[in-house]
Each structure stands twice: as C-alpha cells, then as structure tokens.
Amino acid sequence: MKVLARKEVQAALAADLVFKALADSGHRRLLDRLRMHGGQTMNMLCEGMLMTRQAVAKHLAQLEEADLVVIAWQGREKLHYLNPVPIHEIAQRWIQPFERHRLEALDDIKKSLENEYV
C-alpha cells in the first residue's frame, strides 16, 4: 500500500511540474520550437526569442525538471529535444477518458442513422 501511495504521489508531483511548465508562455514557445525542430543548441533557441540568454537557460532548466526537454551531448554541443511522453501521459489521464464518451456517442448516432435508412 505504501509503495502504491508513493508512486501516486510521485506521479502527481510530476504532473504538477508539467502543468506548471505548460502554463508559462515562454516555456510553450520553446517547446513549440523544439517540436518543429529538435536538437537545437542554446544559441539556436535564443535566436528570435524576446528574452535574454539567461532567461532562456532558466526556462530550459525548468522544462528539463518537468522532463519535457531532454538533452544529448554531441561533442561539445548540448542539444535540446522535446520529450512528448509527459504530455502524452497527461492527455491519457485528463483528455482521453472524455474523448472515449464522445466517440461512443458518435458511434451510437451513426448506428441510429444507419438503422433509420435501412
């Protein structure tokens, strides 16, 4: 029981970090850029951003803490990539259950209409 509770607490804390990260528009801009083109360096991510390099670094650290950004070293370059898994986990928990009901309702409507025209 304690192990299950600990895992649930860890999952809740991880979800809190993801929601907090997604609530920030600067974080979302960086995530959008990584979604469109992964493997960017800090310099690449700073280009076109209306914030200082230090602010971008702080945003990236928060995104890494939320596990939304992962890094890979290529020689001396630190490359940043979007990690979509935490977003997918939230979608499965918070969105998919509602979508299932909608899809079932659409299926019921389809069957009802098909029965009317048969």
Write out the chain's pLDDT in tens, 118 residues.
Answer: 566 588 888 888 889 999 999 999 999 999 999 999 999 999 999 998 999 999 999 999 999 999 999 999 999 999 999 999 999 998 888 888 878 788 788 888 888 888 887 6
Q: Which two tokens stand for residue 86?
A: 């935490």
**Domain residue spans of the chain:** 2-83, 84-118
pLDDT at 3: 60
pLDDT at 77: 95
3-state secondary structure the chain: CHHHHHHHHHHHHHHHHHHHHHHCHHHHHHHHHHHHCCCECHHHHHCCCCCCHHHHHHHHHHHHHCCCEEEEEECCEEEEEECCHHHHHHHHHHCHHHHHHHHHHHHHHHHHHHHHCC
CATH class, domain 2-83, is mainly alpha
